[in-house]
């Protein structure tokens, strides 16, 4: 029987009714044509999920395997996003995240447009461009935004479990503090020293945990764990708002700021951070703080501050409700319209050893009405109403 040519190969005309043999070149060309047709069919038969979703993951893994440098860039992007969300405030946070996503889209589009998982499974033409754009958007959403959110949630979970001290060595805020030493040196020129104290207008913030002493006596181990979480939240927010911790005594913080708006913003951020921690936890696992602020002329000795401005700030803090913030009229006038908060006057309250106490204001975030800020049932009343605060500075 004569050899049959593959489908698509033209038969050579026969002489006197007899077919001529098919040449090897014709056989090869016939098989090549058939293979091309089979490939085109395969490109269309992988299924929507395989062609438009699964191949993105396969292509991403292939790129990472063959380029360790790109793997390093990918993890650097994840770390950058977590740092921006956890430690940087707006507008820098929003701008930074947007730039990261734009860079990721451009870079991944360039890589996918040359990947065999796009070229080998897609007919040439506009579909290659469309699929490359789709893969870039899908990878940015799942591989960058989604994975970074998982890492962020994991870090927050570890911190709220009391492992903040173990994570402290990798806290980028410590590195930020090192870069801020030049700031501290500039401030030192204004602060003076023990031999040459200087007077300076400064915002002073005092904080303490509600019912700290009673809770410490009831369950010392549990309170120490909550105190560590409290300190971690407080220090993170103080650094973010360019504050400086002057001293701590037990649960109480004494902090100074160079502006009233930084002090008020820090106070709201601290209350928000602690409120987020308390969400969903039983009452026994929660803790609440009071915050008081005042701005006045104080004496700087380099390592400490003192004066009537400090005394007034210390007297204001016990006037706050649990989860509340109270500031003097000086702070309210300086910060109004500069921070997203509104101020409600509570009048002039008597203060020990203060001859002319200032008018005091409760501070509420703009999204929160004053009527919503009520003392929770069973929570201790403000110290100004007769309750004794936990750990306070003796002035």
Kindly report the length of the chain: 395
What φ, ψ does residue 9 adopt, rounded to 5°? -100, 130
CA angle 219, 324, 327 (to 5 degrees): 130
The domain in which residue 81 lies consists of: 48-169
Residues 211, 153 share a domain: no
Residues 216, 88 share a domain: no
For residues 296, 301, 307, 312, the Cα torsion angle rounded to the nearest 10 degrees is: 60
pLDDT at site 300: 76
- What DSSP letter does each residue of 169-188 carry, written as one string? GG-HHHHHHHHTHHHHHHHH
Residues 162, 207 share a domain: no
Look up residue 101 and give its DSSP letter: H
- What DSSP letter does each residue of 286-310 carry, written as one string? ---EEEEEEEEEEEE-SS-EESHHH
Output the domain CATH number for residue 322: 3.30.70.1230
Instruction: Please state, in angstroms and rounded to a whole number, the distance separating the CA atoms of residues 192 and 260.
Output: 21
pLDDT at site 369: 55
CA angle 78, 81, 84 (to 5 degrees): 150
Whether residue 10 lies inside any domain: the answer is no
What φ, ψ does residue 117 adopt, rounded to 5°? -75, -10
Residues 208, 318 share a domain: yes
Whether residue 156 lies inside any domain: the answer is yes
Residues 154, 78 share a domain: yes
278-296 in b/e form (b: 16+ CB < 10 A) is eeeeeeeebbbbbbbbbbb
Q: Which of residues 135, 169, 203 is at a domain's end?
A: 169
Whether residue 12 lies inside any domain: the answer is no
Whether residue 25 lies inside any domain: the answer is no
Whether residue 394 lies inside any domain: the answer is no
Instruction: Report which of 283, 288, 284, 261 is spatially closest to residue 272, judged by C-alpha positions.
Output: 288
Residues 360, 218 share a domain: yes
Residues 249, 215 share a domain: yes
Cβ atoms of 353 and 373 within 8 Å: the answer is no
pLDDT at site 87: 73
pLDDT at site 379: 45
Residues 99, 220 share a domain: no
Residues 235, 319 share a domain: yes
Who's near 53: CB < 8 A, 6+ residues apart?
138
pLDDT at site 383: 41
The number of distinct structural domains making up the chain is: 2
Whether residue 316 lies inside any domain: the answer is yes
| Strand stretches in 210-286, DSSP E | 244-249, 252-257
pLDDT at site 17: 52
Residues 221, 304 share a domain: yes
pLDDT at site 19: 53
Whether residue 227 lies inside any domain: the answer is yes
What φ, ψ does residue 245 adopt, rounded to 5°? -75, 120
Residues 61, 131 share a domain: yes
Instruction: Please state, in angstroms and rounded to a whole number, the distance separating the CA atoms of residues 184 and 73.
Output: 34
Cβ atoms of 230 and 251 within 8 Å: the answer is yes
Instruction: Please state, in angstroms and rounded to a whole number, the distance separating the CA atoms of residues 310 and 200.
Output: 12
Instruction: Please state, in angstroms and rounded to a whole number, the distance separating the CA atoms of residues 236 and 105.
Output: 32
Whether residue 393 lies inside any domain: the answer is no
126, two tokens: 């506009």
281, two tokens: 């936890």
Instruction: Give me the long-range contacts of 104-111 (CB less than 8 A, separation at least 24).
Output: 104/77, 104/136, 104/139, 104/140, 104/144, 105/136, 105/137, 105/140, 106/136, 107/73, 108/60, 108/135, 108/136, 108/139, 108/140, 109/133, 109/135, 109/136, 111/63, 111/70
- Residue 345's DSSP bridge partners are 361
pLDDT at site 124: 84
Instruction: Walk along the chain (395 residues) and give the pLDDT tens digit of each residue.
Output: 445 555 544 554 555 555 555 565 555 555 555 544 444 444 444 677 788 888 888 888 888 888 888 888 999 999 899 888 877 777 888 899 999 999 999 999 999 888 888 888 888 889 889 999 999 999 999 989 999 988 888 877 766 555 555 555 555 555 555 444 444 444 554 555 555 567 788 899 999 999 998 988 899 999 999 999 999 999 999 999 989 898 888 889 999 998 999 999 999 999 999 999 999 889 888 999 999 999 988 887 767 788 888 999 999 999 999 999 999 999 999 998 889 999 999 999 999 888 889 999 999 988 765 555 544 444 444 444 434 444 545 44
Residues 210, 273 share a domain: yes
Cβ atoms of 145 and 78 within 8 Å: the answer is no
pLDDT at site 151: 86
pTM more than 0.85: no
């Amino acid at each position: 029987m004569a050899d049959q040519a593959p489908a698509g190969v033209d038969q050579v005309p026969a002489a006197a009714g007899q077919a001529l043999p098919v040449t090897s070149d014709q056989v090869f060309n016939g098989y090549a044509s058939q293979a091309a047709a089979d490939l085109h069919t395969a490109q269309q038969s992988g299924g929507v999920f395989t062609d438009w979703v699964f191949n993105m993951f396969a292509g991403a893994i292939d790129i990472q395997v063959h380029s360790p440098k790109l793997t390093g860039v990918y993890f650097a992007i994840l770390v950058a996003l977590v740092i921006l969300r956890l430690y940087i405030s707006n507008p820098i946070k929003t701008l930074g995240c947007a730039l990261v996503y734009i860079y990721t889209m451009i870079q991944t589009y360039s890589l996918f447009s040359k990947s065999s998982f796009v070229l080998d499974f897609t007919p040439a033409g506009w579909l290659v461009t469309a699929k490359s754009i789709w893969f870039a958007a899908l990878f940015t959403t799942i591989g960058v935004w989604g994975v970074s959110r998982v890492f962020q949630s994991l870090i927050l979970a570890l911190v709220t479990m009391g492992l903040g001290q173990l994570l402290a060595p990798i806290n980028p805020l410590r590195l930020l503090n090192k870069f801020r030493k030049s700031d501290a040196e500039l401030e030192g020129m204004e602060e003076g020293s023990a031999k040459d104290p200087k007077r300076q207008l400064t915002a002073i913030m005092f904080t303490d945990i509600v019912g700290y002493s009673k809770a410490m006596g009831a369950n010392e181990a549990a309170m120490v764990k909550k105190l560590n979480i409290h300190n971690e939240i407080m220090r993170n927010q103080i650094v973010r708002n360019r504050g400086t911790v002057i001293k701590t005594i037990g649960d109480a913080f004494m902090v100074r700021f160079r502006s009233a708006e930084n002090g008020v913003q820090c106070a709201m951020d601290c209350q928000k951070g602690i409120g987020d921690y308390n969400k969903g936890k039983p009452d026994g696992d929660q803790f609440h703080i009071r915050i008081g602020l005042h701005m006045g002329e104080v004496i700087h000795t380099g390592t400490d501050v003192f004066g009537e401005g400090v005394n007034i700030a210390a007297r204001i803090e016990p006037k706050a409700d649990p989860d509340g913030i109270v500031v003097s009229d000086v702070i309210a006038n300086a910060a109004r319209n500069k921070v997203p908060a509104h101020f409600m006057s509570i009048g002039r309250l008597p203060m020990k050893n203060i001859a002319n106490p200032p008018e005091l204001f409760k501070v509420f975030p703009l999204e929160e009405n004053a009527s919503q800020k009520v003392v929770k049932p069973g929570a201790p009343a403000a110290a100004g109403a007769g309750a004794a605060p936990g750990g306070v500075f003796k002035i």
